[in-house]
Structure 1
Amino acid sequence: MSTSTRAGSAAPSIALNFDSIAAARAIVPRLAAISERSEQLRRLDDEAASLLRGSGLARVITPRAFAGLEMSPSAHIRACAEVAHGCAAASWVLMVCVAHDYVIGRFPEACQKEVYEGDADNLIAGALAPQGTLERTPEGWRLNGRWQFGSGCDHSPWLLMGARVANPEAGGYLTYHVVVRQSDMEIDDTWRTLGMRGTGSKDLVARNVLVPDHRAVPTYPTFIGQSPHATAPTYRLPVFAGLPCMLSGSVLGMAEAGLEAFIGHTKSRRDVTGASKSANANMQQRVAESSAEIAAARRLLESACDRFDVAWRR
C-alpha cells in the first residue's frame, strides 16, 4: 500500500471493519488461563504476547501505510479494558505498546518503515519519561541513560524513549523522543515486585547508542499534534490527552475484573458464626459503593472515547 493512502478521508470507514472489543473478548478466556504463567516468569508469557499480536489489537493504531488500522484511540482504550478481564499484565503491555504506536505515527516515514514494514503487529515497548540524555553529533544523536518501567520490553524489537537534550541550543528543544532497536539497548532485570509481575517492566539502559535523525523528534510539537509527519487524523490528536485515557482503560478493566472476582469469592465465604458473608449488610453496602464508583468511571471513560471519535472524524 502506498503512503499516500494515509491522508485520505476513507480512514474511518476502513477502520470500522475491525471490532476491537470483539477481538479482545475472543482472547480473554485463554489469557485468563495463562495469566499465572506471566506472573511466574515476571514478564508476559510468549503465548500471551502472541495472542495480542494475532488478535489484531497490536495494529489498531499502527499507520495504514504499513497494514495498520489507524483507528481512533477509543478502539484501543476499550480493548484494553476488555483484555484486563483476562490478564492485567497483558492489558498493561498492550496499553503501553499501542500507546507508543500513537506516538510513532508522528515520526518521519523512514522511521515508520523501519519499525512496521513487514510486521504491523509489532509490540513497541519503551519509556516515555525523559530519564536519559541526548547529545547532538555529526551522525545524528547519542543516547545515554537508564529508564525505568520498560513494560513488555522482552517482546519488543523496537523501543520508544524520551530523553533530555544535553545541549538544547543544538537541538532547539529541551526534550526529544527517539526510536531505537532493542538490540542496541541493555535490559536490566530489576522487575522483582509483588504486583503486576507479568508486565516485565524492567530497566532499559543506553550506552552511547547512535540514533539517526529520522528516528528522533522534538517532544512538544509532536505530542500536541503538530508534527509535520502526521498526515492522518489519528496522529493529529494530542498525545497528552490520549495517554491518560489509554492508561485509564486498563485500570478500569482491572477494577471491573477485581470486583467480579470479589463478588464471586464472597458468595461462598462464611463468617465466624457460619453466616454467609454475601448476606451481610455492611458487605453489600461496600460492594454497592464499589460498583457505583466503577460504573461512574466507565461512563466517564466512554464519554472521553466518544469525544476522541468526534475529533478523529474531523
Structure 2
Amino acid sequence: MSQAVLDGVRDLLPGIRERADEAERLRVVPEASIKELEEVGFFRLLQPKRFDGLEADPVDFYSAVRDIAGACASTGWVSSVVGVHPWQVALFPDEAQQAVWGADSTTRLSSSYAPTGKATVTDGGYTLSGKWSFSSGCDHCSWVLLGGLVFNADGNVIDFKTFMVPRENYTIVDVWHMVGLSGTGSNDIVVDEVFVPEAFTLSMSDTGRCLGPGQEQNTSDLYKLPFHSIFTGTITTPIIGMARGAYAEHVEMQQKRVRAAYLGEKASLDPFAAVRIARASSEIDAAWALLVNNIREEQAHVAKGEQIPLELRLRVRRDQVLGTQRAIDAIDSLFEASGGRALATGTYLQRAWRDAHAGRVHAANDPERALQMYGAHQFGHKVDPGMY
C-alpha cells in the first residue's frame, strides 16, 4: 500500500510544482495540493490502521516528503509536519484518538511544540492559555497540538506536555509574511483559558522514553520509535528534498547555459562546474543515507524488543542536524554557480535557496545543541533525556 502512495505522490509532482508560485503568493499551500495528497493517501501513511491508516515504514513517509519538497518546498514542509502528526496522535489515550478520527479519519492536525503556553491543573484536566508561533499548515487543519508547561497550585512547573485542542477552541492569527517558506501559512495560534481534559494531553517525559498510552491500542513497532528521531527527521527531510530539486534544476540549466563572459563557453564543459555538482550530489546523498540508516538501526532494535541505545538516539540527532547543513551547503554551492538567470522569479533554485535557509532556523536544526549532546555523551557526561 505504501508503494501505491509513493507512486501516486510522484504523479502529482508536476501539478504541485506548477502551483509553487501560487503558494508563495497566497502564503499558504493551495487547497488543490492538499486535496490531491489526501486522495492518494499521503496523510494516512503514519496513521493507525484501525483509523484507516497505513502504519507505513517511516522511510516511505520521508521518501514521499522528499519528493514533494523537490517540487515545491512549502508544500513539502507542510506535508511533512502535518503528515507526521498522526504518529503522535497514536500515542495519546484512546479517547483523544477517537475524538480526532472516530467520525472522520481524514482529520488533520497542525502543531506548535515550543512550551510558550501555560497550563494549570484543574479538576479532570488543565486550563490552557497562551500564544504559539509557526503552526505550519494550520489553515488546512481542524485540531492543533500545542506544547505547554504545567503549573501546580503553588505556581511550580511539574510537567511539559503536548495539549490537543479542537479548532473551535483556538484562534489563528495571520502573521506569516516571510522571505522563505512563505507558502507554509505558519501562523500564530492563540488559546484563552480553555479546558483540556487529561486524556487529551501527552507528557513529553513519556514520549522521551518511547512510551504513550495509545500503544495499548496501536501495537505496531512504528509507535515505539523515539519522538525526537521521527519528528526531527520531518524537518530535515524537506530540506534534503529542496537540495535534490535545486540539483536537478541546476544540472538542467547548466546543460543549456552558454557563458558570455567566457567567450561563449558551454557551462557543461567547465571542469570546475563538473566538480561542483559531484560534491553537491555527494552531500545530498550522504544526508539522505545517514537519515535512512539511522532509522533502520532504531527499527532493528525495536523489532527485537530491545531498548534503543542512547548513543544511537544521539547519533540520529547528530546526523539530522548535519544532514540539514549538508543539504544547505549543496544548495549554496549550486546557487552561486548557476549564473544570473537563477535569480529569476519562478525558478526553483532561487526559491529553494530562500526556503532552505528559512527551514534552517527551525529549533530542530540547532546544530550546536544537538552536537553538544552527542559529544557530551561520548565524554561520559549525563545528557538531558528530554532533548533526544
Q: Return the TM-score normalized by structure 1.
A: 0.88
Aligned residue among 183, 204, 215 for 2:200 = 215
Does residue 226 of the first structure (1) align with residue 211 of the second (2)? Answer: yes
Aligned residue among 199, 205, 229 for 2:190 = 205
Does residue 85 of the first structure (1) align with residue 73 of the second (2)? Answer: no
Q: CA offset at residue 163 of structure 1?
A: 0.6
Q: CA offset at residue 253 of structure 1?
A: 1.1
The amino acid that maps onto 2:172 is I
Aligned residue among 294, 297, 300 for 1:304 = 294
In structure 2, the partner of 1:167 is 152
SS at match of 1:174: strand
Aligned residue among 68, 92, 111 for 1:107 = 92
Q: CA offset at residue 161 of structure 1?
A: 0.8
Q: Is the 8 A contact 1:73 1:246 kept in 2?
A: no
Q: CA RMSD in A?
A: 2.1
SS at match of 1:51: helix
Q: CA offset at residue 51 of structure 1?
A: 1.4
Kindly, what percent of the aligned residue pairs are identical?
27
The amino acid that maps onto 1:177 is T
Aligned residue among 167, 179, 183 for 1:182 = 167
Q: Point out the more displaced range, 258-267 or 221-230.
A: 221-230
The amino acid that maps onto 1:219 is M
User: Any idea what the Cα deviations from partners look like across 1:47-89, whole Å, max 9, x if unmatched?
Assistant: 0111121110101111222111222322211211121122211
Q: Is the 8 A contact 1:74 1:308 kept in 2?
A: no
Structure 1 regions of 5+ residues with no counterpart?
1-15
Q: CA offset at residue 210 of structure 1?
A: 1.7
Q: CA offset at residue 221 of structure 1?
A: 0.6
* 2: CA distance, partners of 1:230 / 1:26: 34
In structure 1, the partner of 2:232 is 244
Give the number of the structure whose residues are more often helix, by fraction.
Answer: 2
Q: CA offset at residue 99 of structure 1?
A: 1.9
Q: Is the 8 A contact 1:72 1:312 kept in 2?
A: no
Aligned residue among 83, 104, 129 for 1:119 = 104
SS at match of 1:267: helix
In structure 1, the partner of 2:252 is 264
* 2: CA distance, partners of 1:264 / 1:230: 47
Structure 2 regions of 5+ residues with no counterpart?
305-388
Does residue 67 of the first structure (1) align with residue 52 of the second (2)? Answer: yes
SS at match of 1:217: strand
Q: Is the 8 A contact 1:150 1:201 kept in 2?
A: yes
Q: CA offset at residue 260 of structure 1?
A: 0.7
Aligned residue among 253, 262, 269 for 1:279 = 269
* 2: CA distance, partners of 1:142 / 1:282: 61
Q: Return the TM-score normalized by structure 2.
A: 0.72
SS at match of 1:76: helix
Equivalent residues in 2 for 1:283-298 (5 A)?
283-298=273-288
Q: Is the 8 A contact 1:27 1:55 kept in 2?
A: no
In the comparison of the two structures, how many residue pairs are matched?
299
Q: Is the 8 A contact 1:173 1:218 kept in 2?
A: no
Q: Point out the more displaced range, 154-163 or 80-89.
A: 80-89
